């Protein structure tokens, strides 16, 4: 039986819906690989992507075309196909979310990294000393490499799930590594070892760590231009 004009129009809309569906998934995956929260579960990441990013708009376009097919269509297979495509897109988005977050995690380090090739002296020597301090400690969280470094020590930021206590981890890890905890007021922790100092403090979504000489104030707070500046960034990296 030849297709009517309405059936042809609906078939075209189905093709458009399928095309939008094929675009929606890579849009979501690309967005999550750049902006996703690496501490989130697949469901949390999908929910955030749908509400805060282009993923929701992409899925909404697919659903809009699906409605445009469902309303005029009288053929069961067309109606079922139109209704199934947004559901399939949503399920595929859920499946690719951990893959996208895994791509982002691959850009992070499991410990702070301060040494950068091509750094001039005396900053290069200071960075190596800070790195020596960091390397002696068992760390927690993920590090993007963002932070501050120089003769006043090296600061790096880490991301953590909300239910992880960064101070509690280092209360155990520092003595095990031979460090002596000299300050612990519940807001920050400072430890000394072999002329070096290590400081950690919680930040929203993670924390900040610093390593340098035990004679230096942490996080560059005694350095002109940095004194009094906020240690925790306004938006912690979601890496």
The Cα–Cα gap between 49 and 92 comes to 13
Q: Record the tokens describing residue 236, joined without a space.
A: 């912690």
Q: Is the pTM of this model over 0.75?
A: no
User: Residue 148 pairs with which residues in a beta bridge?
Assistant: 155
pLDDT score of 226: 43
Residue 158 lies in a domain: yes
The Cα–Cα gap between 128 and 117 comes to 11
Between 152 and 196, whose confidence is greater? 196
Range of the domain at 153: 123-220
pLDDT score of 41: 82
* Cβ proximity of 101 and 45 under 8 Å: yes
Indicate the pLDDT class of residue 1, thresholds 50, 70 and 90. very low
pLDDT score of 142: 85
Query: Domain check: are 49 and 82 in the same one?
Result: yes
Measuring CA to CA, which residue among 140, 133, 82, 136 is closest to residue 111? 140
Between 180 and 237, whose confidence is greater? 180
Measuring CA to CA, which residue among 115, 116, 131 is closest to residue 209? 131
Residue 23 lies in a domain: yes
Q: Is a pLDDT exceeding 60 seen at residue 40?
A: yes
Query: Domain check: are 101 and 127 in the same one?
Result: no
pLDDT, averaged across the chain:
83
Q: Is a pLDDT exceeding 90 seen at residue 199?
A: yes
Residue 236 lies in a domain: no
Residue 226 lies in a domain: no
Indicate the pLDDT class of residue 220, thresholds 50, 70 and 90. low
Query: Domain check: are 149 and 89 in the same one?
Result: no
Q: Where do the DSSP E strands lie in 36-163?
A: 142-150, 153-159
Query: Domain check: are 172 and 209 in the same one?
Result: yes
Indicate the pLDDT class of residue 221, thresholds 50, 70 and 90. low
The Cα–Cα gap between 144 and 238 comes to 9
Residue 237 lies in a domain: no
Query: Domain check: are 42 and 72 in the same one?
Result: yes
pLDDT score of 239: 43
pLDDT score of 91: 94
Q: Record the tokens describing residue 77, joined without a space.
A: 């297979």
Q: Record the tokens describing residue 113, joined without a space.
A: 């990294």
Q: Is a pLDDT exceeding 70 seen at residue 227?
A: no
Query: Domain check: are 147 and 209 in the same one?
Result: yes
Query: Domain check: are 127 and 101 in the same one?
Result: no
Q: Once rounded to an integer, what is the mean pLDDT over residues 131-137?
A: 91
Among 18-22, 83-87, 140-144, the range scoring the smallest mean pLDDT is 140-144
Query: Domain check: are 58 and 98 in the same one?
Result: yes
Residue 235 lies in a domain: no
Measure Cα distances from 3 to 7, 11, 98, 209 in Å: 6, 10, 43, 68
Residue 149 lies in a domain: yes
Q: What is the pLDDT of residues 48-65, one digit of tens each?
A: 889 988 999 999 999 999
pLDDT score of 225: 44
Q: Once rounded to an integer, what is the mean pLDDT over residues 73-93?
A: 88
Query: Domain check: are 87 and 143 in the same one?
Result: no
Q: Is a pLDDT exceeding 80 seen at residue 90?
A: yes
Number of domains in the chain: 2
Measure Cα distances from 181 to 43, 111, 173 in Å: 39, 20, 10
Q: Once rounded to an integer, what is the mean pLDDT over residues 171-199?
A: 92
Measuring CA to CA, which residue among 52, 231, 64 is closest to residue 148? 231
Query: Domain check: are 95 and 132 in the same one?
Result: no
Q: Once rounded to an integer, what is the mean pLDDT over residues 82-101?
A: 91
pLDDT score of 230: 67
Query: Domain check: are 64 and 153 in the same one?
Result: no
Query: Domain check: are 45 and 131 in the same one?
Result: no
Residue 233 lies in a domain: no
The Cα–Cα gap between 171 and 167 comes to 6
The Cα–Cα gap between 123 and 153 comes to 9
| CATH number, domain with residue 146 | 3.30.530
Q: Is a pLDDT exceeding 90 seen at residue 149?
A: no
């Amino acid at each position: 039986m030849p297709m009517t004009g309405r059936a042809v129009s609906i078939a075209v809309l189905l093709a458009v819906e399928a095309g939008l569906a094929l675009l929606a998934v890579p849009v979501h995956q690309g967005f999550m690989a750049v902006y996703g929260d690496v501490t989130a579960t697949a469901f949390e990441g999908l929910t955030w992507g749908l509400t805060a990013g282009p993923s929701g708009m992409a899925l909404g376009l697919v659903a809009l075309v699906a409605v445009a097919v469902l309303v005029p269509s009288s053929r069961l297979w067309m109606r079922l196909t139109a209704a199934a495509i947004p559901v399939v897109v949503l399920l595929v988005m859920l499946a690719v979310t951990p893959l996208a977050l895994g791509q982002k995690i691959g850009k992070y380090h499991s410990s702070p990294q301060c040494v950068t090739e091509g750094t001039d002296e005396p900053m290069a020597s200071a960075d190596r000393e800070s790195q020596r301090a960091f390397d002696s400690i068992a760390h927690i969280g993920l590090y993007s490499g963002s932070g501050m470094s120089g003769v006043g020590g090296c600061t790096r930021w880490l991301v953590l799930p909300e239910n992880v206590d960064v101070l509690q981890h280092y209360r155990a890890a520092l003595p095990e590594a031979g460090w002596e905890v000299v300050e612990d007021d519940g807001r920050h922790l400072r430890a000394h070892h072999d002329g070096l100092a290590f400081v950690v403090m919680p930040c929203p979504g993670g924390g900040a760590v610093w390593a340098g000489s035990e004679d230096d104030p942490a996080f560059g707070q005694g350095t002109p231009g940095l004194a009094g500046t906020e240690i925790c960034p306004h938006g912690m990296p979601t890496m």
